[in-house]
Amino acid sequence: MRWALALTIGVALLELGGGLAAHSLALVTDAAHVGMDAVALGIAVAAAIQGSRPPTDRQSYGFARFEIIAALVNGMLLFGITAVIVVEAVRRFASPELPGGEIMFAVAAVGFAVNVGIGMMLLRSARKDMNVRAALFHVGSDAVGALSVAIGGIVLLVTRASWIDPALSLFVAAIILIGVVRIVGEAVGVLLESAPAHAAISVVRQRMAALPGVEAIHDLHVWTICSGEHVLSAHVILSDARISEASAILQQIEQRVRSEFAIGHVTVQFECKTCAQDEAIVCTQRPDGGK
């Protein structure tokens, strides 16, 4: 990701210089877009370094949540970028100016090619890491923005229409906003410790309760630490069983939730029917009602 950061900074400087030379709002705003993405990638690099630190007595899960925080910050930065682009585009509609189409096309074409290369580098890790997915969206939106400016430069050379430049700026803003909503929503869901979309509580409870020897499941919680790292805790009521049998049931529970829901960290408290009745009094006072 460090290479991606360095290349992104280079593209931002290139587009800024080209935009000022061509008097192109679309190119300057895309340079600002890429520049803010460089800041976001810098945050992503720092988060990756922090996330690799081992757990401590205070941070018992480690520092992997830096990935989620960085993704949320990235999304908020993109919200700011969108607002700036929209304001500048509206101003340019009111005061039209004909930019240099040749420079727009040449600079944007180079920016597009570089961003495609960066995207190829990040794509391998994007499925496993939310932070890399956020960074990949930054790069993807940069590539689409650069491509639209390059095409706009050609159209501008042919038609000499001054409205094309601010219109392209609004197009880039729309691209940013679509991805921001998704990234921020996913990050907020993790920070709120919502159950993962692929592991609905009702389904997990049903699959666990279907195992032999399990009478019922209550006080079940499933949440996400970071991308690909999911955690489960539950109280499991057993029919009367020896300790050795309970150990076998625990192995079955761990195997089932790992294979079906990709949950790797499982904490289970076993209860017999009698102690479950006493525990139910306590559980009903909890926010989830012990469900």
Q: What is the pLDDT of residues 183-217, one digit of tens each?
A: 888 889 999 999 998 999 999 999 999 998 888 89
CA 118 – CA 158 distance, rounded (Å): 31
Residue 228's region, left for phi above 0, alpha for psi from -120 to 50, else beta, is left
pLDDT given at position 281: 46
pLDDT given at position 276: 54
Show the tokens assigned to 251. Answer: 């192995």
pLDDT given at position 130: 64
Q: 104 with 240, same domain?
A: no
Q: How many CB atoms lie within 10 A of CB 248?
A: 13
pLDDT given at position 291: 55
pLDDT given at position 285: 45
Q: 112 with 221, same domain?
A: no
Alpha carbon 206 to chain centroid distance?
29
Last residue within a domain, chosen from 191, 214, 246: 191
Q: 214 with 276, same domain?
A: yes
Last residue within a domain, chosen from 156, 191, 226: 191
CA 41 – CA 35 distance, rounded (Å): 10
Q: 146 with 39, same domain?
A: yes
Q: 243 with 159, same domain?
A: no
CA 251 – CA 266 distance, rounded (Å): 10
What's the average pLDDT block by block, 10 residues per block, for the chain (291 residues)?
82 90 82 79 74 82 81 82 83 80 90 88 69 76 85 87 84 79 88 92 94 90 88 89 78 93 92 63 50 55
pLDDT given at position 125: 67
The pTM for the full model equals 0.69
CA 246 – CA 244 distance, rounded (Å): 5
195 secondary structure, DSSP code: P
Beta bridge partner(s), residue 25: none
pLDDT given at position 1: 67
Q: 101 with 139, same domain?
A: yes
pLDDT given at position 74: 78
